[in-house]
Structure 1
Amino acid sequence: MLKREFRIILLSLAVSFVLTIAKFTAWFMTHSVAILSDALESIINVVAGAFASYSIYLTSKPRDENHPYGHGKVEFFSIGFEGAMIFIAGCLILFKAAQYFFTPAPIEDVDQGVWITGATTVINFVLGRYLLYAGKRSGSITLSGNGQHILTDAYSSVALIIALLLIHFTGWDWIDPATSAIMGGFILFKGYQLLRRSISGLMDETDMQVVDKVIDILSTHRRPMWIDVHNMRVQQYGSNYHIDCHITMPYYIELSQAHDELKAVDALINRELPKGETEFFIHTDPCVPTSCPYCQLLQCPVRSHPFKEKIEWTRSNVLPNRKHGE
């Protein structure tokens, strides 16, 4: 899978390099600051694509003594680097737009600029959608982040084409730096989004969608022996997950039986969770008398209280570090 991801990101890098040359050609022909802004963002595509290539290569390396959880966290550095590059590009674009407001330059060969920009926009849109699809399918946040960046480039290029057409038909050259300023603001926002995602991943912020999915899988395939699940923590490493949790089981079962139940949980999540590989660290808790009203093991030989109700597993009772009923 990672070899395929590496080939995809290299394709993205090659296409971005060619499109960057095309956009700078359009800028030399037109002298449009808006086209220059688009070309500057494409340079970031190339730099970010190169960093993403290294990130995917590093992610493919197996776990070792120094990296017991693997190298997947580098993907968060990758999208953080990409977000920072986008943010810097947005600042440069706003600076150039301000310059052209005070020292405007005539625009030439607008028709050629529209055709070149239009062609690069279509290619970037197709490439960006493909990267998002591949990233979602493989669980690679590097591919998804790169795809989001390239789609941002495509959307800003659409605004650029509209601006160039308006300049062509109206002759209002002030539209050029104004469009560049709008593009700069939009690019700054997209850079902030990627930086925010990077920081949340590096800080092990919980992805509640993954938590909900894990809870749903466990609830759907729930066994009577699994009295409750609590103190769940989910960490992401690239496309893989590391999950800690406590499972309460009857205190009298043998160690081998408890081990079999935990293996069943591990196999279940790895089979049902749609992407990546999940490593479980499960701590078993012995049941206590307060567990009896919620225990569905009706033939329990040591039950001290009758079964009362089934507790549905939700975030509110799976995430805290306490047994159900306590």
Structure 2
Amino acid sequence: MLRKEFRIILISLLVSFLLTVAKFTAYFLTHSVAILSDALESIINVVAGAFACYSIYLTGKPRDANHPYGHGKVEFFSIGAEGAMIFIAGCLILFKAVQYFIGTYQLEDVTRGIWLIGATTLVNLLLGQYLVREGRKLPSITITGNGQHIMTDVYSSLGLVVALIVIHYTGWTWLDPVVSVAMGILILRKGYQLLRRSISGLMDETDMQVIDQVINILNQHRRPTWIDVHNMRVQQYGNNYHIDCHITLPYYLELSQAHDELKAVEKLVNQGFANSEVEFFIHADPCLPVCCHYCQLMECPVRKEKFSGKITWTRENVLPNRKHG
């Protein structure tokens, strides 16, 4: 899997470099500040691709004494660095656009600029869709994030092509810096989103989609001996997850029986996360009389209360650190 990730990101890096050369060629032909904005963003694609290569290399390294959870967290540094560079590029684009508003300049050879930017947009569209699709299959937040960034580049380039066509037929050169400002704002927004994603990952912010996926798996394969699940916490390390939780089991189970129940939970969730490895740290809680009314173990020899109804596991009762009763 690591070799495939590395191959995918190398393709992205090479294509992004060639497209950057093409966009700067278009800028030198036309002297369009909007095309310059597009070219500056493409430089970020190249640098981000290089970061992603190093990130995937580190992620593939085995765990060691200093990194007991592996090196997967580096992916969040990678998308954070990419987000920061995109944000800086957006600021530079806005600064350059303001300069063009104040000064005077002449656009040249707009037709060739349209064809060049149009061709790079088509190639970027194919590359972005490929990266997003493959990143979700693996899954890899580095590859997916890179693909989403390139798709943003595609949308801004499409707007640029339309603007260049309008300028070519109307002569409205003032539209060039206006489009550049719009692109700069779009790029700033994307940079903020990547920075937000990076910070949330580094701060171990709860991913509710992962929580919901785990809960759904446990609900579908629930055993009567699993009386409740609570105090669930999820941390992501690259493609892998570390999950802590408490499971309430009948207090009279032998140690080997309790161990088998916990291993069954781990096996089920790993099967549900086919492209990732899920490591569980499960704390087994003994049941209490208060648990009897929702315990589904009908042949329990020590039941104190009648069964009153099943409690479906949800975020509301799985995340807090308390038994459901």
TM-score, scaled to structure 1: 0.99
**What number of residue pairs does the alignment pair up?**
325
State the match for 1:280 in structure 2.
280
Matches of 1:303 and 1:6 in 2, distance apart?
56
Matches of 1:311 and 1:35 in 2, distance apart?
59
Matches within 5 A, 1:87-126: 87-126=87-126
Matches of 1:201 and 1:250 in 2, distance apart?
36
State the match for 2:63 in structure 1.
63
What is the CA distance between 1:145 and its match in structure 2?
0.7
| 4+ runs deviating over 3 angstroms | none
Aligned with 1:206: secondary structure?
A: coil
Aligned with 2:71: secondary structure?
A: coil
Aligned with 1:107: secondary structure?
A: coil
State the match for 1:176 in structure 2.
176
What is the CA distance between 1:105 and its match in structure 2?
1.0
What is the CA distance between 1:303 and its match in structure 2?
1.0
Matches of 1:302 and 1:175 in 2, distance apart?
79
Matches of 2:22 and 2:132 in 1, distance apart?
24
Matches of 1:230 and 1:139 in 2, distance apart?
27
Aligned with 1:312: secondary structure?
A: coil
Are 2:10 and 1:10 equivalent residues in the alignment? Answer: yes
Matches within 5 A, 1:221-300: 221-300=221-300
Aligned with 2:104: secondary structure?
A: coil
Deviations 1:239-280 (A, max 9, x none): 111100000001111000000111100000000124311000
State the match for 1:52 in structure 2.
52
Percent same amino acid at aligned positions? 73
State the match for 1:23 in structure 2.
23
Give the gaps of 5 or more residues in structure 1. none
**Matched residue type, 1:90:** G
What is the CA distance between 1:80 and its match in structure 2?
0.6
Task: Give the RMSD, CA atoms, in angstroms.
Answer: 0.7
What is the CA distance between 1:304 and its match in structure 2?
1.2
Are 2:68 and 1:83 equivalent residues in the alignment? Answer: no
Deviations 1:3-41 (A, max 9, x none): 100000000000000000000101111111111111100
Aligned with 2:4: secondary structure?
A: helix
Aligned with 2:226: secondary structure?
A: coil
316-325 or 274-283, which deviates more: 274-283
State the match for 2:303 in structure 1.
303
Matches of 2:79 and 2:243 in 1, distance apart?
23
Matches of 1:256 and 1:104 in 2, distance apart?
81
Matches of 1:230 and 1:78 in 2, distance apart?
33
State the match for 2:165 in structure 1.
165
Matches of 2:307 and 2:167 in 1, distance apart?
76
Deviations 1:178-219 (A, max 9, x none): 110110000000111111111111110111011011001001
TM-score, scaled to structure 2: 0.99
Matches of 2:31 and 2:305 in 1, distance apart?
82
**Matched residue type, 1:313:** W
Matches of 1:104 and 1:121 in 2, distance apart?
28
**Matched residue type, 2:207:** D
Matches of 2:244 and 2:201 in 1, distance apart?
17
Matches of 1:226 and 1:249 in 2, distance apart?
6
Matches of 1:163 and 1:292 in 2, distance apart?
69
State the match for 2:154 in structure 1.
154
Matches of 1:2 and 1:152 in 2, distance apart?
26
Aligned with 2:36: secondary structure?
A: helix
Matches of 1:274 and 1:210 in 2, distance apart?
13
What is the CA distance between 1:100 and its match in structure 2?
0.5
Deviations 1:44-100 (A, max 9, x none): 110110001000000000111111111111111111111111101100100110000
Matches of 1:18 and 1:83 in 2, distance apart?
22
What is the CA distance between 1:307 and its match in structure 2?
1.2
Matches of 2:275 and 2:92 in 1, distance apart?
38
Deviations 1:222-254 (A, max 9, x none): 001100000000111111111000000011110
State the match for 1:141 in structure 2.
141
What is the CA distance between 1:308 and its match in structure 2?
1.2
Matches of 1:44 and 1:272 in 2, distance apart?
36
**Matched residue type, 2:308:** K
